[in-house]
Structure 1
Amino acid sequence: MQGREYYYRRFGRRITLKYRQPGGNATRLEPTFAEFLRFIANEKYFDEHWAPYYRTCEPCALHYDYILKIETLDRDQNFLIQDTKLSDYLYEVRHPRNINPHGATTRKILDEYVTGIPRSLLDKIYKIYENDYKLFNYSFI
Structure 2
Amino acid sequence: MGHSVETRANGVYVNLDVLLAKYCTHIPPEELDLAINISKRYGYLFISTPKSGCSSVISTLQKLELQRPYKIWRHPIEIHDKSVSPLCGAHELVDFDRFLVAQPFTFTFVRNPYTRVLSAYLEKICGGYSSIQRKQILLQLGHNCSDDLFDVSFVDFLRAVSNQPVSTMDVHWMPQYYVASHDRMRFDFVGRLESMDRDFRFVLSKICNDFEQYITCEQRHGKNANDKISRYYTDEAVSLVKEIYAVDFKHFGYSLELPITAEKKHKKLAEIEF
TM-score under structure 1 length normalisation: 0.69
Deviation, 1:103, is 5.0
Inter-CA distance 3–81: structure 2 relative to 1 (3 Å threshold): farther
The aligned amino acid for 2:176 is: Y
> What is aligned with 1:13?
138
> What is aligned with 2:153?
32
Inter-CA distance 13–2: structure 2 relative to 1 (3 Å threshold): same
Deviation, 1:112, is 1.1
1:112 aligns with 2:228: no
The aligned amino acid for 2:211 is: S
Mapping for residues 46-125 of structure 1, pairs under 5 Å: 46-85=169-208, 87=211, 90=214, 92-94=215-217, 98-100=218-220, 102=222, 104-106=224-226, 108-114=227-233, 117-119=234-236, 122-125=238-241
Matches of 2:131 and 2:180, distance apart in 1: 27
On the 8 A contact 1:15/1:31 being kept in 2, the answer is: no
More strand as a share of residues = 2
The aligned amino acid for 1:99 is: Q
Deviations 1:70-92 (A, max 9, x none): 111111111112221273894x4
Ranges in structure 1 where 5+ consecutive residues have no aligned partner: 19-26
Matches of 1:31 and 1:103, distance apart in 2: 17
Deviation, 1:63, is 1.2
Matches of 2:197 and 2:219, distance apart in 1: 13
Question: Aligned to 2:249, which of 121, 129, 133?
Answer: 133
> What is aligned with 2:61?
none
Matches of 2:222 and 2:128, distance apart in 1: 12
Percent same amino acid at aligned positions?
19
> What is aligned with 2:13?
none
Name the SS of the counterpart of 2:225 in structure 1. coil
Matches of 1:122 and 1:54, distance apart in 2: 19
More helix as a share of residues = 1
On the 8 A contact 1:133/1:139 being kept in 2, the answer is: yes
Inter-CA distance 4–72: structure 2 relative to 1 (3 Å threshold): farther
On the 8 A contact 1:68/1:76 being kept in 2, the answer is: yes
RMSD over equivalenced CA pairs, Å: 3.0
Matches of 1:133 and 1:110, distance apart in 2: 17
Deviations 1:84-114 (A, max 9, x none): 1273894x435xxx123645432x3112110
**Count of aligned pairs between the two proteins:** 125
